[in-house]
């Protein structure tokens, strides 16, 4: 398509530049002996009433047809963009007035305004261009206003205001560069419409006046004898359509190029297993009947704009019935993608491979797609980080709470509503049926998250995956949510995989903690041991970096030097080795495997440093009290 567009545009440019030079004379030469001729070989489109060759006139009219259209668009765009962008940098009242003005101008149909103004300015090319510019300005102003409003609300604009930058600087430096791309697309497309509109004005006699001529005027003149001789009317029409389509295609091409810049490369290579041997050992362990979920050697590959990354590289975990397991890690550690892979919710293009994936006692690999979705829908539920976007804002709470049981269990409506009411009572939300009739935006964040938990436990699932469910909430609400999750775990025997970056919260709430780093689990230990008994250097540094209300205030906080590991996962060795204070030569070459260290305690480290570091001793003593 790009080639076609470029060929069409190129031909237009060549015609516009060369047309008047090559055919200008022929187009103006009157031949009284050949008036109103039908198409012949000498005159492929025939002649007009003065005997001038119509093909020559058509080709010579390219420049006078295109130039006014482009000029009108640019003038209109300049005026409209200025008006619209001003709304982002002026203060409240002026911005509202400008907005009202734009809305008012938009209320008039553009073509009618153009005709009215063209008549007012006087017939002629100049008048038509001005009229069209004024007519298309409000459209540009509105688009610019909408785009600029998005920029005006950002923090970097607020920061620029706090710096006291002057308005023209705000406009030129911060607003316009961000909206330039869509505006350029829009201008290109508008040029096509302007050409059509301008030809329309000429056709109506409001634009170009004889003896000048453009495509619109040629069309108008040809129309007089369209029934006897269609070609003199059809040819200018084709020229107009050709040019308009060329502009539209250019717009499409620019839009496509802009979109391609942002689009990631797909995963085309097979997901490689660099060191499968070490993990296979663990995959062969006998499956325990008590386990709700067993995952072995989970790997995820994700395409991004900078190439394929491997955010999860061999995760093995198992959850027993009624167990609450915390999955802790920093951003980019792969904890959320692990959860999404388990729930079969990976984003498009991502690929997951498993050594083993057993859920509720069945091997999910052996199930068909439909059975698998059904098993996940009835046996697993998710609670997401942002309660504001976890619900469909246009549906009532009741509909969203009951749809899963009604769809999968075939529960009648009345019974489903009763179950929903019971769940709402359990999450301590008052209001009963009134709440079921409300819509998500009527609830606070904490209430919404409680509804999300009620919704998750409607199916009495074997496993709830809670992905940062309290991160967007206040501490007091956070505590309510944690208490709720614990209650559901205790009452229903539901296993909970609790994903969080908040190591203190996880230590406080969970039975067991899995620490993730660089796409692998580096340590698995009982939660009470986290504060003092962690053995992996990363876990220890993480613990030391958490400010604690109970610790000495002047006790310095430790931070972990260096950056996160390479997301492409190409480097060999332990992912933490370049930041690790205890590293050995071996660490850079060979990746350690999660191996047992004590009861319920596994570490992936070649030489785990001894427990109870000096700064943890005080806490250790207190924990033993």
Partner 1 sequence: MSTGSGLALYDVTVRHHGPLGPITAVDGVSLDVPQGTTVGLVGESGSGKSTLARAVVGLAPLCAGRITVSGREYGGRRVADRRRLGQQVQLVFQDPDTALDPRMTVRQSLAESAGAFVRLDRRSRDQRIGGLLDLVGLDTGCADRLPRQLSGGQRQRVAVARALAVDPAVLIADEVTSALDVSVRAALLTMLRDLQRRMGFAMLFISHDLAAVRHVSDAVAVMYLGRIVEIAAAESLLSGPRHPYTRTLLSAVPSLHAGRRPAGEPLLAGEVPDPAAPPAGCRFHPRCPVGPDRHPGRDVCAVRDPQREATGRPHRAACHFPYGTDDRPPEARHVPPDGDGDRTPRTPEDLPS
What distance in Å separates the CA atoms of residue 325 and residue 180, rounded to the nearest whole number? 48
Residue 550, class by beta-carbon neighbours within 10 Å (0-12 exposed, 13-18 middle, 19+ buried)? exposed
Q: Give yes or no for residue 479 binding partner 1 (CB under 8 A).
A: yes
Residue 182: phi and psi, rounded to 5, are -60, -30
CB of 185 to partner 1, least distance (A): 18
What binding mask, one character per residue, do residues 117-156 give for partner 1 by CB under 8 A, x or -?
-------------------------------------xxx
Torsion sign over Cα 117, 118, 120, 125: positive
Segment near partner 1 (CB under 8 A), from 76-84, 101-109, 189-197, 551-559? 551-559
CA distances from 245 to 185, 240, 255, 289 (A): 14, 9, 15, 66
What binding mask, one character per residue, do residues 263-302 give for partner 1 by CB under 8 A, x or -?
----------------------------------------
Q: Give yes or no for residue 3 binding partner 1 (CB under 8 A).
A: no
Segment near partner 1 (CB under 8 A), from 364-372, 543-551, 581-589, 593-601? 543-551
Which of 107, 262, 414, 549 lies at the binding interface for partner 1 (CB under 8 A)? 549
Sheet with 595-598: strands ordered across? 380-383, 463-467, 495-500, 324-328, 512-517, 520-526, 601-603, 595-598
Closer residue to partner 1, CB minimum distance, 502 or 590: 502
The structure tokens listed for 455 are 């919704």
CB of 163 to partner 1, least distance (A): 5
What binding mask, one character per residue, do residues 458-477 give for partner 1 by CB under 8 A, x or -?
----------------xxxx
CB of 551 to partner 1, least distance (A): 8
Closer residue to partner 1, CB minimum distance, 413 or 490: 490
**Which residues does 294 contact at the CB level (< 8 Å), separation at least 6?**
287, 288, 317, 318, 356, 357, 358, 359
Which of 252, 508, 578, 590 lies at the binding interface for partner 1 (CB under 8 A)? 508
Q: Give yes or no for residue 505 binding partner 1 (CB under 8 A).
A: yes
- For partner 1, the binding residues in 426-455 under the rule CB under 8 A are 428, 430, 444-447
Q: Give yes or no for residue 621 binding partner 1 (CB under 8 A).
A: no
Q: Give yes or no for residue 558 binding partner 1 (CB under 8 A).
A: yes
Q: Give yes or no for residue 228 binding partner 1 (CB under 8 A).
A: no
How many residues touch partner 1 under the rule CB under 8 A: the total is 72
Q: How many other C-beta atoms lie within 10 A of the C-beta of residue 32?
A: 7
What distance in Å separates the CA atoms of residue 527 and residue 546, rounded to the nearest whole number? 16
Q: How many other C-beta atoms lie within 10 A of the C-beta of residue 270?
A: 9
CB of 17 to partner 1, least distance (A): 35
Q: Give yes or no for residue 99 binding partner 1 (CB under 8 A).
A: no
Q: How many other C-beta atoms lie within 10 A of the C-beta of residue 14?
A: 11
349: left (phi over 0), alpha (psi -120 to 50) or beta: left
Contact indicator for 514, 327 with CB cutoff of 8 Å: yes
CB of 113 to partner 1, least distance (A): 34
End-to-end Cα distance, the chain: 75
CB of 439 to partner 1, least distance (A): 15
What binding mask, one character per residue, do residues 323-362 give for partner 1 by CB under 8 A, x or -?
-------xx-------------------------------
Which of 363, 415, 483, 585 lies at the binding interface for partner 1 (CB under 8 A)? 483
Which of 511, 536, 594, 606 lies at the binding interface for partner 1 (CB under 8 A)? 511
DSSP state at residue 38: P
Which of 1, 3, 163, 289 lies at the binding interface for partner 1 (CB under 8 A)? 163
Q: Give yes or no for residue 168 binding partner 1 (CB under 8 A).
A: no
What distance in Å separates the CA atoms of residue 582 and residue 27, rounded to the nearest whole number? 87
What distance in Å separates the CA atoms of residue 291 and residue 325, rounded to the nearest whole number? 13
């Amino acid at each position: 398509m790009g080639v076609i567009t470029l060929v069409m545009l190129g031909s237009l440019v060549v015609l516009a530049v060369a047309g008047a030079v090559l055919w200008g004379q022929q187009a103006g030469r009157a031949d009284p002996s050949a008036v109103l001729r039908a198409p012949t070989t000498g005159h492929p489109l025939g002649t007009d009433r003065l005997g001038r060759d119509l093909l020559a006139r058509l080709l010579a009219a390219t420049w006078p047809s295109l130039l006014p259209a482009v000029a009108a668009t640019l003038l209109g765009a300049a005026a409209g963009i200025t008006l619209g962008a001003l709304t982002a940098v002026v203060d409240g009242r002026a911005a509202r007035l400008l907005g009202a003005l734009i809305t008012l101008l938009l209320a008039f149909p553009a073509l009618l305004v153009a005709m009215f103004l063209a008549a007012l300015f006087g017939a002629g090319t100049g008048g038509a261009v001005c009229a069209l510019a004024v007519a298309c300005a409000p459209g540009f102003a509105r688009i610019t206003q909408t785009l600029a409003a998005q920029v005006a609300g950002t923090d970097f604009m607020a920061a620029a205001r706090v710096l006291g930058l002057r308005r023209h600087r705000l406009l030129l430096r911060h607003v316009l560069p961000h909206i330039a791309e869509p505006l350029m697309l829009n201008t290109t497309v508008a040029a096509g419409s302007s050409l059509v509109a301008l030809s329309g004005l000429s056709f109506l006699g409001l634009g170009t006046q004889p003896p000048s001529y453009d495509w619109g005027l040629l069309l108008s003149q040809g129309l007089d004898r369209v029934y006897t001789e269609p070609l003199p009317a059809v040819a200018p029409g084709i020229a107009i359509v050709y040019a308009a389509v060329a502009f539209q295609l250019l717009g499409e091409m620019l839009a496509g190029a802009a979109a391609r810049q942002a689009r990631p490369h797909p995963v085309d290579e097979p997901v490689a297993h660099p060191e499968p041997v070490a993990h296979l050992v663990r995959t062969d362990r006998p499956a325990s009947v008590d386990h709700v979920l067993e995952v072995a050697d989970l790997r995820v590959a994700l395409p991004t704009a900078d190439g394929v990354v491997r955010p999860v590289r061999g995760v093995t975990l198992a959850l027993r019935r009624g167990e609450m397991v915390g999955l802790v890690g920093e951003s980019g550690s792969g904890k959320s993608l692990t959860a999404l892979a388990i729930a079969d919710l990976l984003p498009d293009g991502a690929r997951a491979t498993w050594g083993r994936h057993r859920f509720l006692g069945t091997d999910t690999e052996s199930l068909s797609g439909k059975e698998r979705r059904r098993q996940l829908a009835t046996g697993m539920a998710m609670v997401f980080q942002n309660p504001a976007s976890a619900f469909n804002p246009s549906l009532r709470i009741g509909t969203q709470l009951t749809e899963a049981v009604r769809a999968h269990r075939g529960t009648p409506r009345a019974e489903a509503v009763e179950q929903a009411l019971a769940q709402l009572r359990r999450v301590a939300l008052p209001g009963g049926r009134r709440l079921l009739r409300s819509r998500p935006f009527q609830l606070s964040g904490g209430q919404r998250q409680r509804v999300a938990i009620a919704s998750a436990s409607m199916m009495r699932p074997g496993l709830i995956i809670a992905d940062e469910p309290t991160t967007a909430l206040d501490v007091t609400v956070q505590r309510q949510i944690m208490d709720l999750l614990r209650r559901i775990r205790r009452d229903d025997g539901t296993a909970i995989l609790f994903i969080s970056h908040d190591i203190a919260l996880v230590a406080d709430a969970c039975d067991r903690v899995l620490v993730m780093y660089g796409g692998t689990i580096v340590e698995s230990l009982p939660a009470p041991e986290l504060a003092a008994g962690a053995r992996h250097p990363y876990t220890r540094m993480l613990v030391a970096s958490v400010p604690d209300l109970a610790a000495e205030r002047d006790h310095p906080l430790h931070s972990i030097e260096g950056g996160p590991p390479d997301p492409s996962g190409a480097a060999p060795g332990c992912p933490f080795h370049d930041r690790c204070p205890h590293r050995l030569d071996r660490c850079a070459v060979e990746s350690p495997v999660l191996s047992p260290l004590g009861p319920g305690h596994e570490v992936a480290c070649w030489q785990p440093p001894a427990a109870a570091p000096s700064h943890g001793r005080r806490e250790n003593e207190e924990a033993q009290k």
